[in-house]
Amino acid sequence: MNYTGRILITTIIIALIATARIYGYLYYDYPLFNLPYFGIVSVMICWWLGSQYDKVKFYSEKDILTSVHNRRFVLQTIPKLLVRMDKRNEKLNLFLIDVDDFKKINDTYGHETGDKVLRYLSNILVSNTTKKDIVARWAGDEFLIISPSSVAKSPDAIIKRINDALKKLSEEINIEVSVSIGAAIYPNEAGTLDALLHAADCKMYEMKSS
C-alpha cells in the first residue's frame, strides 16, 4: 500500500515531541534524555491512526478485486490531467480494454476463475505500462490505461505487448484469454473523458467485429 499518511502524521508528532523536549530542557531544566513514555504512546497511536487513514484512502481509490485504480479515481483525476495536458500542450492516450467472451469464461469455469482472470489481466496491464500511466478497472471486465505523453503514441506497440502476454497466460492457465482494445488520443480525437471513451469504444468494437 503506497500511501504515506501514517509516516507523515508520525513524523509531525515526533518533531513536535522533540521540539517540546528541547524547549523544556532550555527553559525549565527538564531532563533532555528521560524516556518519553507519553511521547512513545503518542507516536504509536498516531501511527495506527495514520494506517487507518491510508487504508481508507486505498479503498477509496483502488479496485478491491484487482488492486488497480477504480472508476472513482479516474473521474476525480481526469479533469485535472486534461488541464495539465492543455497547459503543457501535450497529448493523452486512452486505451479501453475489454475481455473477450468473459461471460463464457464465468459460465464455463466459474466466477472464481473469472476473478482470477481479471487479476491476471490487471497485473499484465500494470507490467506493460509505466509509473506515469494510470491503469484502472472501469466496469466489470473493462479496464482503462490512461497514458499522458508529450506526443501522441501509436497504440500498436502496447496492444502487441498485452496480446503477447495474454497468449502466454492462456497457455499457463489453459484457458483462452484475449481482449479487444480501442484507443483514442486527447485532444486530437476528443476533448472530454466521455468523448474519449466513446471514440475508444467504437474502435474496440471494430476490433471485436474483425
Q: What is the CATH number of the domain that holds 95?
A: 3.30.70.270
Alpha helices in the chain (DSSP H): 5-28, 37-61, 71-88, 102-109, 111-127, 156-173, 193-209
In a domain, 175, yes or no: yes
Asked if 179 and 108 sit in the same domain, the reply is yes
**Domain range for 84:** 71-209
Residue 66 lies in a domain: no
Do 35 and 130 lie in one domain? The reply is no
Say if residue 138 is in the same domain as residue 87.
yes
Q: Is 141 a catalytic residue?
A: yes
Q: What pLDDT sits at residue 130?
A: 87
Q: Are residues 45 and 110 in the same domain?
A: no
Q: Rounded to the nearest 5 degrees, what angle is found at the Cα of 15, between the Cα atoms of 11 and 17?
A: 115
- Give the pLDDT confidence score for residue 32 in this predicted structure: 62
Indicate the number of domains in the chain: 2
Whether residues 49 and 87 share a domain: the answer is: no
pLDDT at 199: 94
- Cell 472530454 found at: 192
Catalytic residue among 63, 141, 156, 164: 141
Examine residue 103 and state whether it is found in any structural domain, yes or no. yes
Average pLDDT along the chain, 210 residues, taken 10 residues at a time: 63 72 69 65 68 61 91 93 92 94 94 95 93 93 89 74 93 93 91 94 83
